[in-house]
Amino acid sequence: MAGTLRIGLSGWTYKGWRGAFYPRKLPQRCELAYAAERFNSLEINGTFYGLQKPDAFGRWREETPEDFVFSVKGSRFITHMLKLKDVRQALSNFLASGLLRLGPKLGPILWQFPPQMRFQPDRFEAFLDLLPTDTEAAARLARAHDERLDGRAWVEAEQNQPMRHAFEIRHDSFRDPAFLALLRHHGAALVCADTVDWPLLTDLTSDFVYCRLHGSQELYVSGYDAPDLDLWAGRVRAWARGDDPPDNHHAGPTQPRLPSGRDVYVYFDNDAKVRAPVDAAGLAERLP
C-alpha cells in the first residue's frame, strides 16, 4: 500500500505571482480557486499572523474541490511570543477561530518555531500533551475561548476525525533523540525543511510526512532544477511506501517500515521569484 500524496504551495496570495502564475486579468478573489485546480493542497499562512474568522474558513472550503485539503499554520502568538509557555487559552482561541469549519478539508496543523528557540523538553512535552488529536477534542478545547471570540467563534466538529500536528524546528538543539522520541510518543511529525540556514532532518516520527521546500541555496528564492526534483520525488515515493529514503538525514534511531505507507504533504515556500508554483508542478508531474 501507499499513502496519499499532497503537493502544493505555502500560501496563495502573493503580489508577484500576478501576471506570472495567475493570469493578469484574473480577479484576486479567484486566485484560491485557480491554485486549487492545479494543486491538491495549500498551506493557510494568514493563521500564523492573526486569528481569522469562521466565514473565511467557510469561504475557502467552498472555493476548493471536494478532495482538497488545507494545512493550517499555527499561531505565532503561541510559538514565537508565548514560546509555548501557558498557552492553553491562546490555543483555545486559535481552535475557536474557525479551523473546524473546514470539515474534512482540515489537514495537518503546522507549528513553526523561531530560529533562536531551543529544545526545552518539559515545555514541548506540556504543549504536545495539550494538543487535540481529533476534532471532537479540538471542539471541546475551542469552547473554552475567551471573550475576544464571543460572537465569532466556531466550536463544533462536523464529524470526528484525527487531527495531525507537524513541528518545524530551526535550531540545532533539536538534533536530539529525546525530541524525536517525544514526537513519536504523541504521533506528531517532524517537518523535513529544505533550507540553507536550518537543520535538514528526515527522521520519521508519525504516520505521515510533512515537508517544506524553502530553497536550499537561497532562502525563499532559489528554485529546484530537474535533478533536485528527481531527488525529492524519490524521497516522496519512499515515504509514501512507508520506507525511509536511503539518503536520510537522521538525528536519532530510524523507524521500521510502515507497511500501510505514509501520507505525504509537500509544500514549496520558495515564492520570492515565482518559483514555488513551477517547482510544485514539476514535482507533481514526477509522481503518480
Tell me the per-residue pLDDT of 172-205, one tens digit each, with 9 for 90 and over: 999 999 999 999 999 999 999 988 777 788 999 9
- pTM here is 0.95
Q: Rounded to whole angstroms, how far apart are CA atoms 26 and 30?
A: 7
Torsion sign over Cα 84, 89, 94, 95: positive
pLDDT number for residue 245: 87
SS3 203: coil
In the chain, the percentage of residues whose pLDDT exceeds 70 is: 97
CA distances from 269 to 44, 216, 263 (A): 12, 11, 20
Q: pLDDT of 20-29, one tens digit each?
A: 999 999 999 9
Q: In what order do the strands lie in the sheet with 208-215?
A: 189-190, 165-168, 106-112, 69-73, 41-44, 5-10, 263-268, 208-215, 192-195
140 grid coordinates: 471541546
Asked whether the predicted pLDDT for residue 259 surpasses 90, the reply is no
Domains of the chain: 5-285 (3.20.20.410)
CA 194/CA 48 separation, integer angstroms: 20
Q: Cα separations (Å) of 40 from 83, 265, 268? A: 32, 10, 13
Q: Which three cell numbers stand for residue 193?
A: 525543511
Q: Are the C-beta atoms of 119 and 173 separated by less than 8 Å?
A: yes
The contacts of residue 181 (CB under 8 Å, 6+ apart) are 252
Which residues, at least 6 apart from 138, have a Cβ–Cβ distance to it below 8 Å? 95, 99, 100, 132, 157, 163
